[in-house]
Structure 1
Amino acid sequence: MEAVRRWGPSVAAHLILGVVAVVPLWLTMMFAANHPLAELGLTSREPTDNDGMLPWAMLLVPVWAAFLALWLPVGSLARPEEGVRKRRYWTVSSALVLSPMVFLTTLFVLLDG
């Protein structure tokens, strides 16, 4: 019960931030599929995306900056005060932030076929 009391607020905060992280992660996935992976021949480009990389950079940089400006302070405040090393805490919190995106992507692949 002590572990739940110690890790509970942190887990809840990072899962909520993971829902927010779906937006920058999804945009990054779309950028990667349309530009670097398409150049390697692994995906095909969206035919209407002919503006180049600048609009993507102008969109992704502020979105990621806003998310990181939210995630890092909230993560630091939600960290348990004792008994948790920083490396372990940030590894677990990164996995928790990524988990909603992984869940939604898996669900999309399973349902869309």
Structure 2
Amino acid sequence: MTKHWSAPLLVNVLLGLPGTLPIWLLWYFVVNWPLADLGLTVREPTENDGMLSWLLIAAPIAGLYTLLWWLANKPLRRRSALAPRAYWSLSVLALFVPTTVLAITT
């Protein structure tokens, strides 16, 4: 049984490295459509392709990545001694570490 928080932390930080692409795609979508429609951001003026390209490109990438993340964490969660809420909180926060570092350093 994994008693420490280091195994889920390491696995999710490593999963966060390729996760920068689906996270960026979802962020770009949210900034250009829902938030722009609410008046919270300004839509990219050259972004006029509509929703079909997002359904064909971003949705499968985000869906496959979410499935990969779930399949990697499900057996690890069963072997962990962490409480479920603590485990999933740590996993989600660790997943965003590489994207956050990339956003800060660029």
Give yes or no for TM over 0.5: yes
Deviation at 1:10, TM superposition (A): 2.0
Q: Contact 1:10–1:80 (CA<8 Å) still a contact in 2?
A: no
Deviation at 1:82, TM superposition (A): 4.8
Under a length normalisation based on structure 1, what TM-score does the superposition of the two structures give? 0.79
- The aligned counterpart of 1:88 is 86
Q: Contact 1:79–1:89 (CA<8 Å) still a contact in 2?
A: yes
Q: Which has the larger radius of gyration?
A: 1
User: Number of residues paired by the alignment?
Assistant: 105
Structure 1 pair 82–43 and aligned structure 2 pair: CA distance change class (3 A): closer
Question: How many angstroms apart in 2 are the aligned matches of 1:68 and 1:28?
Answer: 12
- The aligned counterpart of 2:36 is 38
Question: How many angstroms apart in 1 are the aligned matches of 2:38 and 2:76?
Answer: 41
Deviation at 1:23, TM superposition (A): 0.5
Q: Which ranges in structure 1 are unaligned for 5 or more consecutive residues?
A: 109-113
Q: Which ranges in structure 2 are unaligned for 5 or more consecutive residues?
A: none
Under a length normalisation based on structure 2, what TM-score does the superposition of the two structures give? 0.83
Is the partner of 1:79 in helix, strand or coil? helix
- The aligned counterpart of 1:59 is 57
**Which has a greater percent of helix?**
1
CA deviations over 1:60-92 (Å, ceiling 9, x no partner):
221111111110111123337253122210111
Structure 1 pair 27–74 and aligned structure 2 pair: CA distance change class (3 A): same
Deviation at 1:8, TM superposition (A): 2.7
Is the partner of 1:30 in helix, strand or coil? helix
Is the partner of 1:44 in helix, strand or coil? coil
Structure 1 pair 9–49 and aligned structure 2 pair: CA distance change class (3 A): same
Matches for 1:66-81 after TM superposition, within 5 Å: 66-79=64-77, 81=79
